[in-house]
Structure 1
């Protein structure tokens, strides 16, 4: 389950400039494709990301994600589960990296099964359950091009 990190006790009196230094500001057009087969978890992640200023598109599995990308979707980052029906995350990643248009697309894999076989073609991996504050920082870093 995702839980929002609580700000530190001393943050209430912090000035805006100091807060902006600690929390990277997003490009208002930054978008994330969330590829997750568990409906409730996908919805939870999507609503949380939207609350952080991201535009979110959801896909129930790799096949749905392929359809969205082939229809012209160009997300800044893809948040990808590995274990899904129809097309799993590894097959989706193989497809993505085989397409010149999508080879450089940023991907974060979030899975409970990372120990089974490492994911080599992802920009970052998170074991489920993951800390949302770490995901937030990594998304901001990838969106900014770092």
Structure 2
């Protein structure tokens, strides 16, 4: 039984040590940190500016009352979340676009094949002449 658990643990260590798993872990951590930046941008900078444009109406207080004042739908929070998503999606798009541009520069077109040597050109010419004579 100890061998199986040791084998399982070593297999798990190999799985964790793979590059793509580590890259994904780093991506999740950086993404979480970026989310807090995007949240702050939306909540602390953009929403106050937008509320100034809408007559000092705070998005957090925007809501619709449905029925006999029993159900309140706070759509302002939803609008803030949508704006937050759009900012995050735009930032990720710009990041991916930059990375793709970087990779395209690295993958420059391969150089053209070298021109045939004098011997190869001469042999090709002889081959073509022999084909013509056979016809």
TM-score category, normalised to shorter length: under 0.3
Question: Highest Rg: 1 or 2?
Answer: 2
Which has the higher relative contact order, 1 or 2, with Cα contacts under 8 A spaced 6 or more apart? 1
Greater helix fraction, Structure 1 or Structure 2 = 2
TM superposition score normalised by structure 2: 0.23
TM superposition score normalised by structure 1: 0.22
